[in-house]
Amino acid sequence: MTIAVYPGSFDPVTNGHLDIANRAASLFDRVIIGIYDVPQKHLLFNTQERVDLMKKSVTHLRNVRVEPYSGLTVGFARAMNAKVIVRGLRMSSDFEREFEMALMNKKLDPDIELVCLMSSLEFQFLSSSLLKEACQLGGIIDSLVPAHVAESLKSKYNIRSS
Ligand code: ADP
């Protein structure tokens, strides 16, 4: 059985993340989505909110589970008995960061492999940070996230639903 973890901030989860989660679920026996508990960047949603939004987004995937984690991602992978870390790659800018992190992770735990899935064409431009910016400025973001995420985003920014 191959277990994979898919770690990230997911602040909040987007359709781009879900595309990767769906594809990982069909590749691996089990996928555990790891919601990073203490990212060093400003977050809109707290850990519990990010976990809840993600859980609600993957109810259709029977072999996927969602867990918060802190500390090293390889430590989380090991604790979950995972051999694989899944990440999504958009354009070239993600590549450099992922490559660097992969080399560091390999040093920390040589038994864990990184598997990068290329972002689907329609989600290449989509990031949680751009999404938040667009939503805050009144942009219509409904086609970029599940409905419950759109609702939560709008309520954070005090935007009335249409
Ligand atoms: P992190 O802070 O760890 O980068 P993110 O929530 O931004 O967390 O992203 C989690 C993972 O999902 C990363 O591997 C990222 O490259 C990937 N990802 C983010 N947006 C997309 C997208 N639109 N398409 C595919 N992968 C994506």
The pLDDT value given to residue 105: 95
146 is a domain residue = no
Q: Which is higher by pLDDT, 140 or 39?
A: 140
| pLDDT at residue 70 tops 70 | yes
Element housing 33 (H / E): strand 30-36
Rounded percentage of the chain residues whose pLDDT exceeds 90: 90
The pLDDT value given to residue 158: 87
Q: What is the CA radius of gyration of the chain?
A: 15
Element housing 130 (H / E): helix 128-136
10 is a domain residue = yes
Sequence-ordered list of residues with C-beta below 8 angstroms from that of 87, at least 6 positions apart, any chain: 6, 7, 8, 20, 94, 98, 114, 115, 116, 117
Which residue among 20, 127, 128 has the greatest number of ligand 1 atoms within 8 angstroms of its CB, and so is best to mutate?
20
pLDDT, tens digit, 9 for 90 and up, residues 88-128: 999 867 898 999 999 999 999 999 999 999 999 999 999 99
As a whole number of angstroms, the distance between CA 12 and CA 106 comes to 28
CATH number, residue 44: 3.40.50.620
pTM of the model: 0.95
16 is a domain residue = yes
Which residue among 32, 119, 128 has the greatest number of ligand 1 atoms within 8 angstroms of its CB, and so is best to mutate?
119
57 is a domain residue = yes
pLDDT, tens digit, 9 for 90 and up, residues 2-31: 999 999 999 999 999 999 999 999 999 999
149 is a domain residue = no
The pLDDT value given to residue 39: 63
Structural domain span for residue 95: 3-124
